[in-house]
């Protein structure tokens, strides 16, 4: 298999398609290609169409960056990043203020101990219930509690929070 993220160019016949992905069979074999959700109506691929495309290979498929049907003119496909909103804000970076996450834990009736630990997709928060049990919360930046589990108070990550109380 070729290396991930390698730039390639290929051409062939569309043998099947589903949603934004299609299979192209050419002289160098079959390729699973993804044109992106925004390009489905723009490109309008059907079984039997001859295509030429440029793209970058990922492990599971090819992410098409440029495509031409038949002998037509090539069109560049702009891709939005996975987490990008229509207004251009990145959901992973938007609302990275931990106050919503802390408020969600307090709303559940827990005392928040120490500072929230920021992770790429969530905050980790140590909470203590009214009966003294320690719970580790994984809270989305928007305040949705994704996971809660009994906290191991011997873990170094919670040592400073427990020492303050």
Please give the chain's pLDDT, 165 residues, in tens: 444 556 778 888 988 888 888 888 988 888 888 887 777 777 778 888 888 887 777 766 778 878 888 877 777 777 665 554 444 444 444 447 788 889 889 998 999 999 999 988 899 999 999 999 999 999 988 788 889 999 988 888 888 888 776
Query: Are residues 32 and 62 in contact, defined by beta-carbon separation less than 8 angstroms?
Result: yes
pLDDT at residue number 89: 45
What is the spatial distance between Cα 160 and Cα 149, in angstroms, rounded to a whole number?
19
What is the spatial distance between Cα 146 and Cα 130, in angstroms, rounded to a whole number?
21
What is the spatial distance between Cα 158 and Cα 8, in angstroms, rounded to a whole number?
48
pLDDT at residue number 131: 92
What Å distances lie between residue 159 and 65, 122, 126, 152, 163, CA to CA?
49, 20, 11, 10, 6
Written as six digits, the tokens of 127 are 């909470």
For 134-142, the CB contacts below 8 A with 24+ separation are: 134/158, 134/162, 135/110, 137/101, 137/104, 137/105, 137/108, 137/110, 139/101, 139/104, 139/105, 140/101, 141/92, 141/94, 141/95, 141/96, 141/97, 141/100, 141/101, 142/95, 142/100
Written as six digits, the tokens of 35 are 């044109």
CA 1 to chain CA centroid, nearest Å = 24
What is the spatial distance between Cα 7 and Cα 98, in angstroms, rounded to a whole number?
39
């Amino acid at each position: 298999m070729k290396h991930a993220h390698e730039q390639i160019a290929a051409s062939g016949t569309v043998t099947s398609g589903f949603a934004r992905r299609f299979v192209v069979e050419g002289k160098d074999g079959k390729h699973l290609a993804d044109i992106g959700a925004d390009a489905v109506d723009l490109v309008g691929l059907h079984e039997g169409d001859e295509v030429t495309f440029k793209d970058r290979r990922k492990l599971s498929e090819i992410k098409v960056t440029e495509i031409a049907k038949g002998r037509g003119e090539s069109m560049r496909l702009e891709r939005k990043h996975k987490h990008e909103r229509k207004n251009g804000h990145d959901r992973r970076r938007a609302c990275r203020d931990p106050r919503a996450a802390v408020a969600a834990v307090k709303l559940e009736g827990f005392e928040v101990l120490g500072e929230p630990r920021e992770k790429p997709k969530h905050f980790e928060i140590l909470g203590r219930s009214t009966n003294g049990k320690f719970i580790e919360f994984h809270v989305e930046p928007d305040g949705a509690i994704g996971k809660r589990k009994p906290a191991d108070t011997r873990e170094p990550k919670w040592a400073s929070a427990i020492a303050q109380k």
